[in-house]
A and B are shown apart, each in its own frame.
Chain A
Amino acid sequence: AAGVIQSPRHLIKEKRETATLKCYPIPRHDTVYWYQQGPGQDPQFLISFYEKMQSDKGSIPDRFSAQQFSDYHSELNMSSLELGDSALYFCASSLRFGTYGYTFGSGTRLTVV
């Protein structure tokens, strides 16, 4: 079965650079969520989209932005990267009125040097 696809799997950037993370949800899933998990930390919610509109916002820095496109894939854009942005970034998708839980991707490991 198709899963949530995230790319790239690993990314190394220098401070002050920009990074773009991509997420391809499960087909027909209408909601996408982004999470950040620092080393030894719990996953922290960043932002979500339902039917291409932002549906909720968490502790996402102003330097970050995200959007969901017409094909439902989503991109997380991160600018002016800081060392503290080094983390695992997960994307999850779900069906708004589904009852099968949320499916997470394998994550993108971002390292800022």
Chain B
Amino acid sequence: SQQGEEDPQALSIQEGENATMNCSYKTSINNLQWYRQNSGRGLVHLILIRSNEREKHSGRLRVTLDTSKKSSSLLITASRAADTASYFCAPTQGGSEKLVFGKGMKLTVNP
């Protein structure tokens, strides 16, 4: 298992703005997953992108994956105060591999 490194570590924006966060990893992967965690709550799976995919959408979320650069980005469009949370990326080889979480990115959306 490997840990993804999120960047920036913190981001503060106004409601309605877009938020972009990046994730870098070190070795080849089968898929990369993004999770959100509201303070003191459980992690919520947002989206999974496979290594043969370059872009994926889910509602206001857009994820890209560049395996040549070993990086992924998560874009949240038209942010809302409810998007305030920590966001984690988790690159994996698939199967039953455990997820290893880094420090995450703390997003604050101000109303």
Contacts and interface: CB of A to CB of B under 8 A. Distances in A.
B98 A104 contact: no
A50 B96 contact: yes
Contacts of A48: 96, 98
Q: Is the interface of B mostly helix, strand, loop or mixed?
A: loop
Interface in B11-45: 31, 33, 35, 40-45
Contacts, number: 60
B102 interface: yes
B48 interface: yes
Interface residues of B, number: 25
Interface of B: 1, 31, 33, 35, 40-45, 47-48, 50, 88, 94-104
Interface of A: 30-31, 33, 42-45, 48, 50, 55-56, 58, 88, 90, 92, 94, 96-97, 99-107, 109
